[in-house]
Structure 1
Amino acid sequence: MFSHGGLDLTDVSLNALRAFEAAARHLSFTRAGLELSVTQAAVSHQVKSLEARLGAPLFRRTARGLVLTDEGHALLPTLTEAFERMSRVLGQFHGGRLKEVLTLSVVGTFAVGWLLPRLSAFRAAHPNVDLRLLTNNNRVDLAGESLDYAIRFGDGVWPGCEAERVAPAPFAPLASPALAEKLRRPADLAEVPLLRSYRVEDWPRWFAAAGVSGVTARGPLFDSSWIMVQAAVLGEGVALAPPSMFAGEIAAGRIVQPFAVQVDAGAYWLARLRSRPVTRAMAAFRGWLADARGAGHDSAA
């Protein structure tokens, strides 16, 4: 191993480096010993042996405790980073195999309404995938956020992306039971607050499908359909959202679909950058997603 005129790793004990790093973080041999499950004397001995190998003091022992020398300050951040990186890699081993990270961003409505109830099944099927789950409001930067996949709502056409249709999601009005009692026909929606998302075309499209004209949505604007529907549950107005993603709320009677008319405003898609190679973890998730839908687990289908 090259030493560039100085020591190389074969000259230094890993235990000594670990003892110094812990003692430097705590500025205490006693607390370092507790962290490493060794005695204070063992930590002190390891640090002294490291100082001897380096030919430089790493601590000054003062009446008020330990103080790092300039040499100690220079060594600490590099060791801390190195041990943290080793810990992360070692923590990725599971059952004799290295766990592979999968970073997935999911539009909030799909995350809560479909994915979260099924996550345990995915983990059981693929224990070697270390899933990192982010949520979005359908505005996603796959490259900037270093995402493997994003589940998005729309038409499936995004620049530089390859998208596979996951589930249809026709929209319909959703209201609290108390508010729904006031709605006998679609035109009655003109008399109640209509909650809005950033998709300004959704309400006009639904009214056109229902044969109603002259009604304008003027209720509060939300950047999350999930939060918008929770507001509807509380009686704040009528939300326009996919009933399939709120089957639990509908089954529990917390919210009602007062009209059968639904409108196709888009679908959920699994998207990735065309330039991003498909990893084993990505292939595993894509296959699991297809199997879950094909087995009839997709309530949105």
Structure 2
Amino acid sequence: MSRRSFPLNAVDAFLKTARHLNLTHAAKELCLTQGAVSRKIAALEAWFGFPLFERHARGLRLSSQGSALLPELQSAFEHLLTVAEQARAQQTVIRLKAPTCAVRWLVPRLLKVEREQPDLQIALTTTTDHHVNFKTESYDAAIVFGTHMSAGDLLFEEALTPVISPLRAGVPLGSMTLLHPTRDKTDWSLWLANQPQPALAMHKNQHFDTMDLAITAAIQGLGVAIADETLVEEDVRAGRLARPYAQSIQTGASYRLVYRAAPDDENGLSAFRDCLLNRG
């Protein structure tokens, strides 16, 4: 038989059975039926071309060939498990907290991390909370949002602009529902206050709990949303959204990447940071 046909998954069954010399006990440890264990051993014996056990009325006994093979197979199997455990231990897990509104920007960059840094595993938690407290929260890094922040690395500054579905491009904006990313009208009020002349009136309004929900509603044609231009950049590029106005208004708020500990190669944060900041 060829090397590729070797029933590797039957080795553990042989080792367990050799230790117990009892199919029932081996099956219980492997969480298999007695018949399944018996078939695995039979497949291994068929590949070797000789019996591994002698069957007696009182139970099993290793054959001479089985006794000779046992220490070698045991050593090889233990080595395989050690290599696997070491490989798993080499993967670095980064626990990341991010506000839901930043996910549209974040996901393409997580794909880049996965592609360029396969040893990094990002355990992402999304939340409507825009801050983090590393003393009470078990995250390694977080994306935070707010004004007057200086900690960590700047990802991008918030700049608001209206967006609509291209399918509604011919509809007068004044007749459309204004989609608000919060329960108040702060963002739309700020944008309208910075226009040279009244562009829209707040006659019809729909409020959402997050900017991401307002953006999704705009994509589906519910109305015109006020959104951060960076967060909708990919949607505009892909044709899912259109910008009826070229200008945007900075709010003074920003998105920043902060860390529990200083980023370095050992904790994986340095490589993760470079991917998010488009370095290298």
TM range (shorter): 0.5 to 0.7
TM-aligned CA distance change 1:258 to 1:281, over 3 Å: same
Tell me the residue number matched to 2:248: 262
Tell me the residue number matched to 1:197: 181
Q: Deviation digits for residues 91-147 of structure 1, max 9, x if unmatched?
A: 5726xx71111111233343333x322334323432222221232334455545511
Mapping for residues 1-301 of structure 1, pairs under 5 Å: 23=28, 26=31, 28-30=33-35, 90=84, 93=87, 98-113=90-105, 115-139=106-130, 141-143=132-134, 144-155=136-147, 157=149, 162-183=151-172, 188=174, 191-198=175-182, 200=184, 201-211=186-196, 212=198, 215-216=201-202, 219-265=205-251, 266-273=253-260, 276=261, 278=263, 280-290=267-277, 292=278
Query: Residues of 2 paired with 1:33 and 1:198: CA distance?
Result: 64
SS at match of 2:268: helix
Query: Residues of 2 paired with 1:152 and 1:21: CA distance?
Result: 53
Query: Residues of 2 paired with 1:26 and 1:183: CA distance?
Result: 66
Query: Residues of 1 paired with 2:156 and 2:234: CA distance?
Result: 17
Shift of 1:243: 2.7
TM-aligned CA distance change 1:208 to 1:21, over 3 Å: farther
What letter matches 1:286 in structure 2? R
- Larger strand percent: 2
TM-aligned CA distance change 1:172 to 1:33, over 3 Å: farther
TM-score (norm 2): 0.62
Is contact 2:183-2:208 (8 Å) kept?
no
TM-aligned CA distance change 1:194 to 1:130, over 3 Å: same
Is contact 1:175-1:239 (8 Å) kept?
yes
What letter matches 1:155 in structure 2? T
Runs of 5+ consecutive residues of structure 1 not aligned to the other structure: 1-13, 43-47, 49-86, 296-301
What letter matches 2:222 in structure 1? E
Is contact 1:105-1:149 (8 Å) kept?
yes
Is contact 1:26-1:32 (8 Å) kept?
no
Shift of 1:232: 0.7
TM-aligned CA distance change 1:226 to 1:25, over 3 Å: farther
Measured on the aligned residues, the alpha-carbon RMSD in Å equals 4.1
Shift of 1:181: 2.6
TM-score (norm 1): 0.58
What letter matches 1:122 in structure 2? V
Radius of gyration: which is bigger? 2
Identity %: 24
